[in-house]
Structure 1
Amino acid sequence: MTKTIVSASLAVLCAGPLSAASLELNDIFGSFGAVAQSYSGNSESEGRVIIAGDATGNISVNDREIGANADGFDDLIITGDATNANITVGQSGNVTIGGDLSNTNLQLNGGVQTVTLGGTRSGGNFNQNEDILIQNATNTNIPEVDFSFLQSEAARLGGLGGLFSVDTNASGQLVFGGASVLDLDFSVLGSGTGVFDLSGIDTLIINVAGNGGNIGLNFVDYLGAGVLDAAQSVVWNFFEATGTINLNTALFGHVLAPSATVNVNSSNEGSVIASTLFSNNGELHPLAFDGTIPPAGGDDLTPVPLPAGGLLLLTAIAGFFGLRRRGTAPA
């Protein structure tokens, strides 16, 4: 068994890239399994995890390495201290902790893995084979995660304005689509069956109003399109939620709930951004993000289709002005 411990100045040479980068929604979705201020649970995340604060409890990460925006960052990043935690990291993933590692059990199940600490380690067990422990690193490769910014982004997207209802098809399924932005009440997600119809839509932003609640909607394939494929372009924006969101069924798509507590009670397909995240009974599965978050000041998505009456009205107006121009043209 080989144990390598590096401290102080040598840590600078071993810690890899040292520059911090500010993460936006387009960076997080599809590249990280979870970004939260507090995170724990008995189930694993199969995407990289950032805990923007201190960590405790059970934390398990088994990264599938989906999403190029996460390249250069470790599988588990804790910006503060890890205390009284049980941390498991597989798939040869590395760990960065900005502060101290105290009374924490660390299980590394890959090949040669590196744990970089901004502080020191004390107490707990470290299952270390040929792994490298760097302590007192003067610089750590921790991206900037600004939850105030994420909350403002949720509010901005929540104000885009969209359709205020979803259609029901002949099978009684709720059809999510028809416009690039949907504005819905939380109660719509309580039960039933949902499908995505993203015809002509590059990115579907679903703004969900309400403080929180239970999600029990089941999504299925529709019109020959797989629900996983469609979900890669879907963002669920819980812009009002400051309470608890219980994901009792898989919510296909990327979840933006930066002020809420999210309980993952069924394996979820997509990135999750939350203030507090518990994954006790469901895994977090990474999912590519094929959509685009509109920039501030340029909130232009696919236009909401006009009803037939609106199109006829515009046609009539255009024809009226065409007649007037022809009537006043010189002979």
Structure 2
Amino acid sequence: MSSMSDIFRVIEHTVPSHRQNDALVLSVKQYIPLDNPNPRSDDVTIIGAPGNGHVKELYEPLWEELYHRSKTAGFRIRSIWIADGTHQGKSGLLNDGRLQNDVDWLDHSHDLRHLINLKHADMPGPIVGIGHSMGGTQLAYLSLLQPHLLHSLILIEPGIDEPSPTSAVQQGIARCAQLSLNSPDIWPSIQAAQEFTARNPLFQTWDPRVVRRWLHYGLRNVSSTGTGTAPSLQQHNHSTAIPVTLTTPRHQEMLVYKRPTESLTASSDSPPSRNTHSPYYRPEPHRVLSRLPHLQPSTLYLIGGRSPLCAPHLRELRLRYTGTGRYMSPGVHTH
């Protein structure tokens, strides 16, 4: 991980969230290229948004790649900002004891707008949003909240889909939730966690730099010295068998994947079924899909070639919706 310090000056910030009733904070990292101490007015500010259960540091290899490619692509990076959601990563540890059990994905959109307002002197435009999975949904919604705030969006497999419980995203969310439930969330030592990742097919598909960051930042020592019920965040001690657990607790991951459906009374002619009345749901994918016609920034959807979350019909649906509303840009089908 030393290459990051060769490229960026990394600054950690702790800033308040937008919420008035809860004294929640965000853990934020800012990456400033060492070779750009005097940025120009057109240098790019990047704001990132992680996927569920992905601590913000997992995206550092992506920032490295963007930095190197900027040298030949004709743009300069002013700085890169990324925050853990209030219930995830280091933010979740800082907010221990104040978190509720009903998570709305789009609260983070408001928190990011608040962050940009607080740090506006250091975050001038053009601002490009790069969001992964849930983070893509959040950045799209941020652009709907404040249409001219972001210049462009790069949405990596965003959670944006139709409301049906059988839709690709909803089914993908269900699979991710099941995977999370079936995976261990505590190991007797960091060495045991390393062995687990080495034989886990999921981690074998990751860039090794990302795996190293998951072991370093995605896990924490189990300790009794933290505040409230959460263990404290500590450096892993490789010489002792200290148990380690997930930095983002599994129950917080599950609260993002699944929101319980309130009890419904069946009518005699239309009994509920799993296709129409799933016991769990997520409203945000459809809330954002329905407003995609009003999305102002230029938008790039980045989808894996074999992604189960983004079948061809869903890709077509997003393209048909994005930016095509009245008085908006004409959308992709007119180009």
Which structure has more helix as a fraction of its residues?
A: 2
* TM-score calculated relative to the size of structure 2: 0.22
* TM-score calculated relative to the size of structure 1: 0.22
Which structure has more strand as a fraction of its residues?
A: 1
Structure with the larger RCO, 1 or 2 (CA within 8 Å, 6+ apart): 2
